[in-house]
Chains A and B, each alone.
Chain A
């Protein structure tokens, strides 16, 4: 199940985070890994969080995961003020959870839902994944 990248220029690379970081470095947008030492460390933290926590999250714990994420996401992006690989990783990781959420639950995790809606409309991110319907008027009005 662990992805392996066969590469012409060297030995194969093993692991989702390793491969993704390699591809970003080779691409024209290395800033996806963060634009400072601090944001690079935060991005790595989220990438590891995806593979060690989210991907191993038991079904009964998914709501706890979303609640924690909701608490953290009182901002636009996961790491710093820019869109990074961390947003892509967590977007793909929680897509299956978002598919299953009822309208009321999406309101309960309003920060996650707002962030998710933003990321799914970010150019070039969504690809083949179905668009998740978000009732924006309910999510964007603060209930505090």
Chain B
């Protein structure tokens, strides 16, 4: 299996974190943005929005399948929440923080999803999202949130449970390796070139603050 990843692409962080976590053997190739686009566009020509098999967003699930770690109902529920609710807000937040350089507005954009996470973790009172051990849901959500939550300029507010849960993930070595590879130690700025090239897909609820 071959995996194409690019620096600064937030979705690639998920893939690499999942790869480190599952230990699946895989040939990882780093391609630059132009290369990624060229590679993707061959497939995107075929399907455009559908993309080809395993764009980075779907790869973690595949890696967990291959490694034999299953996905429970609760795990599925978190993954669905991540794609349906968290990602639209997160894409907006990254655009605001990195491209528009308005880090102070990120908390507002992510308020809904972070509150949901805080409430769910508090209610479940487990160390991880689906129980007392790490699951694919934790890996995917850590990786999705890592760029914003690891930035000290973006306050988490009073969300102590999210903070504690996130710190459990952030200190894992597998996770740090993945983050270093994708963000090159530059934090949010490591994604700037990538994000600037992305078309802006904002849901209607997100459009308002951006056009101010």
Measured CB to CB, the residues of A under 8 A from B are 10-11, 13-18, 21-22, 25, 37-38, 40-42, 44-45, 48-49, 51-53, 56, 64-65, 67-69, 71-72
Contact = CB atoms under 8 A, between A and B. Distances in A.
Given A41-B58, A72-B46, A48 B76 contact: no
B50, B58, B81, B87: which has the most chain A beta carbons within 10 Å? B50
A53 B66 contact: no
B49 A18 contact: no
Contact of B80 (A15, A37, A72): A15
A64 B83 contact: no
Contact of A37 (B65, B73, B76): B65
Contacts of A16: 80
Nearest to B47: A72
A41 B83 CA distance: 15
Given A13-B77, A14-B77, A18-B76, A51 B49 contact: no
Nearest to B123: A11
B61 interface: yes
B54 interface: yes
B73 A48 contact: no
Contacts of A38: 53, 62
Given A15-B80, A45-B53, A52-B83, 17 more contacts: A11-B74, A13-B77, A15-B76, A15-B77, A15-B84, A21-B73, A22-B76, A40-B62, A41-B62, A41-B65, A45-B54, A51-B84, A52-B84, A52-B87, A53-B49, A68-B50, A69-B50
Nearest to A37: B65
B119 interface: no
Contact of A18 (B57, B65, B73): B73
A64 B50 CA distance: 11
Contacts of B49: 53, 64-65, 68
A64 to B, nearest CB: 7
B206 to A, nearest CB: 12
Contacts of B186: none
B50 A49 contact: yes
A52 B47 CA distance: 16
A81 to B, nearest CB: 15
Interface string B66-86: 100000011011001101100
B203 interface: yes
A90 to B, nearest CB: 11
Contacts of B57: 48
Contacts of A65: 49
